[in-house]
A and B are shown apart, each in its own frame.
Chain A
């Protein structure tokens, strides 16, 4: 992945810009020392690293606005950062840019159970939002697997999803309002504790814009009453095709599970070796979870079982207790850890129409042989969001490049099948140059026009999302 060469004119002004920043921030909120900057050189896409010009950690919307005004005035790019858990390089710094982290802004500003909302500063972690309302019987629905660490700021920037979004939607469906600081320091309020926009849905535009339209400092989120209970059933098949057909039948029958997770043989094996969850030796495994009171869960799992049996499963294990539920989920939840245990891996995130599942899995298998790299597939089957994990050895020269090329082919396949490049991780730098596979130049132009409106100078997180070539004239202007 190529990044633009840093602008020497900006680098030459570093001292001057740092002095200005120091005048509006507390001492501890401005990091310029090389050793300390190291901690911010990458996000979870660790293959790419770069030291920023400086890191600022403002403590309020006002401080964010002050920083933005300074950078805007000096023509210095700004890269926003939540907790730095992006798998797509969304928070990768540039040498000629200031990295703006919201990590010091983690207050819960308001909880209103009657209106079912919570207002937070966006540095708060995803899980801490649920933590703030859990005792009252509520939760925040989007649940990316990094939820212990990831910040709401990053969730909003990437429109994060999770395993339970089949029923509850992704971030954009649970976000009611934001305080956004534009590149020139203008503070804009969008939405609030009420529903829907008065005019254009700017909130919907900001969510998922990968920190390119503004820095979101505060957010109003929808909270939901916790379900009475939840239990999964594990269903094993000797063919991925049959597992796919079973998923479609479950959905067609009118059951709306809260999650349908799918694992293929390589993934099942790795998880089993790692977590000893008691998964059977089979080609495809489904974990289907439903919610409700005990009797309701029994009824739904009964119906799912009936449907599944028509597809002749190798094994069907309905959880009867919390302990059993935990065991069923254990393997799935440790999938990434299990992979990390055997090898370096790259996690992809394309989405496909559920009906293309068998075809796509077969093609990935063929490509795996062609590239000589193993792939394990784990994915959210209800919504078609795949996470192929390509295994490679980072210490073997050329293997990372081969892995990236393979990954690109898989994502192109997703688009070809009627899907998209990324279902929940975002484009960042990782999929930036593949955007032209999914979009025409006109489609991309329409999106870039939005950035022109919010950030005419293209100073916010500039070399991300759009193919470098496509955004070059704007970034140079």
Chain B
């Protein structure tokens, strides 16, 4: 099914007699596979409102992300959170959509500075599991009217509702960009230097350690500002740094964002969100190729197929998601959570999808 209006979408969900596989562009094939009738949102496409002077955009959930990015670029603006494109990493094709991005709460390197997808998302319209259209949030960036279901929808992987429309707050694209790159460093030294960089007032917009162990620090702003901050940051950190020009910098960050280092390499891929200072110890326990982003707070790990990475990590603050790998029954894709959280999540699912038709089982 591929509804082209919200009413049709609601009707399709209402009429469902069994599980629905909710899909945007199908590029973020993560989670336990669901069998059922395919419900595609690609027909709900198009930008419905774009006000550059108000830094807001509203678009149908099926709108290709590329269309959004092109419209924004024409006005010198962008989505602040730098969403990851997972096609290379997961070997998927298709067209990433707005709804898929939101359902995955997909964020990239700028998350440390500008927040996640959920932080830029200011409004949603969705159809719940009973086929009812629900609106929450709106098109203004400051809004505390009622409960924030916008956040709940971000990262819920289509299990609580099928998104039909999303509204975002935007940011201007700064005039200039440059990055500093170090020689290879061990994880401890890298995390320490990233923490120092993120603690300076120079508004470092991304801090990563690439697959070769090199630390990358990104600066964005007005032309003179980036040059000045680049010098100031080098002075503050000490050591030797290569300064990457805008184009090289952008390429390097695309690589970090999309984890291209693991794209054509074998094995399972895990994504861990951890306390940054815990990253070096985690990396030691992982003992496999890693890419660190978010100053160490995000670890991408490529491990042998079928490995139970969580068992090797023990207790830690944060969570591990199995992003790529053949389904293994004993290996939940999403981090198992403590009992009270599980109870709340199950309660929400029972309320928003009482018949259990929306991507049932996808999140475990």
| A interface residues with partner B (beta carbon < 8 Å) | 112-116, 137-138, 158-159, 161, 165, 169-170, 172-173, 182, 186-190, 192-205, 207-209, 225-228, 247-249, 251-256, 292-293, 295-296, 299-300, 351-355, 380, 383-385, 418-427, 431, 435, 438-440, 442-444, 446-447, 449-454, 465
Contact = CB atoms under 8 A, between A and B. Distances in A.
B200 interface: yes
Contacts of A208: 144, 147-148
A443 B224 contact: no
A116 B198 contact: yes
B136 to A, nearest CB: 7
A51 B92 CA distance: 62
Nearest to B134: A446
B344 A353 contact: no
Most chain A Cβ neighbours within 10 Å, of B116, B144, B155, B172: B144
Q: Which 8 A-B pairs have the closest CB atoms?
A: A204-B151, A248-B53, A198-B319, A453-B347, A254-B172, A194-B318, A423-B142, A198-B335
A453 B334 contact: no
Given A251-B53, A423-B142, A435-B145, A169 B174 contact: no
Contacts of A453: 344, 347-348, 351
Contact of A197 (B139, B155, B175, B317): B155
Given A256-B171, A295-B224, A299-B224, A351 B149 contact: no
Contacts, number: 258
A292 B172 contact: no
A28 B107 CA distance: 48
Given A114-B276, A200-B344, 18 more contacts: A169-B115, A172-B119, A188-B338, A190-B341, A194-B275, A194-B297, A195-B273, A195-B298, A200-B155, A204-B154, A205-B152, A209-B148, A225-B201, A383-B142, A385-B140, A421-B145, A440-B135, A449-B351
Interface string B321-349: 10000000000001101101100110110
B274 A248 contact: no
Question: Counting chain B CB atoms within 10 Å of each CB, which of A198, A418, A421, A426 scores highest?
Answer: A198
A424 B144 contact: yes
B111 interface: yes
26 contacts: A113-B199, A114-B192, A116-B198, A161-B144, A173-B119, A189-B341, A192-B275, A196-B105, A198-B321, A199-B363, A200-B155, A204-B152, A251-B172, A252-B76, A254-B172, A296-B222, A384-B142, A419-B140, A424-B144, A427-B144, A431-B145, A446-B134, A447-B149, A449-B352, A453-B347, A454-B344
Contacts of B143: 351, 419-420, 422-423
Interface of B: 51-56, 75-76, 105, 107, 111-112, 115-116, 118-119, 128, 132-136, 138-152, 154-156, 160, 171-175, 192, 195, 198-201, 221-222, 224-225, 228, 232, 273-277, 294, 297-298, 317-319, 321, 334-335, 337-338, 340-341, 344-345, 347-348, 351-352, 363
Given A353-B54, A427-B145, A199 B345 contact: yes
B141 A384 contact: yes
B140 A423 contact: yes
A194 B273 contact: yes
Given A200-B348, A256-B172, A115 B277 contact: yes
Contact of A188 (B135, B149, B277, B344): B344
Nearest to A454: B344
Nearest to A177: B317
A450 B140 contact: no
A256 B273 CA distance: 29
Contacts of A427: 144-146
Contacts of A209: 147-148
Given A169-B115, A295-B224, A443 B151 contact: no
Contacts of B201: 137, 225-228
Of listed A159, A204, A227, A299, residue having the most chain B CB within 10 A:
A204
